[in-house]
Amino acid sequence: MTLTAIVLLIALGLLLLALEVLILPGLIVGVIGGVLILIGVGASYISFGPATGNYVLLGTVISSVITGVLIFRSGTWKKASLSTTLTGKVNTIDEQKIKVGDIGITLSRISPMGKALVNGEEYEVTSVDVLINENTQVVVKKIDHNKVLVSPLS
């Protein structure tokens, strides 16, 4: 095997290891990368003897360390990671504004959850037992912590 082929095997192995760490989960790509590196280093010992094999091994270790440093720098992770924030919130029920027996209107289909307007306030509500279409009058049946249970007004 030529020295160029050995260097390409090792470089491809390092690239696969980097992809495993940054992008592709599952360990398969990383194992393939590690095997390619081992084949490359082993081929250098077999084809060129111990002296060249030792140089290739040293170069591989140095390249691996440099690749690891580049991967684990904070800037690399910032580019590869998700940086959005969640802006949703849990229903905060003010029991002065909504009570059992209040009547409201659905803003979306309740199947089994959706939005309803009760006493001028928008709440995420849950249907007690049936699907409720949009723009249907509902009555508040129960308030359980941050959960409002409604049923259609009959």
CA–CA gap between residue 74 and residue 4 (Å, rounded): 33
Please answer whether residues 94 and 88 qualify as being in contact, where contact means their C-beta atoms are separated by less than 8 angstroms: no
pLDDT tens string 7-55? 999 999 999 988 888 787 778 998 999 999 999 999 999 999 999 999 9
Please answer whether residues 150 and 116 qualify as being in contact, where contact means their C-beta atoms are separated by less than 8 angstroms: yes
pLDDT tens string 117-147? 999 999 999 998 889 999 999 999 999 888 8
CA–CA gap between residue 17 and residue 27 (Å, rounded): 9
Quick one: pLDDT band at residue 83, thresholds 50, 70, 90?
confident
CA–CA gap between residue 78 and residue 110 (Å, rounded): 39
pLDDT on residue 153: 86
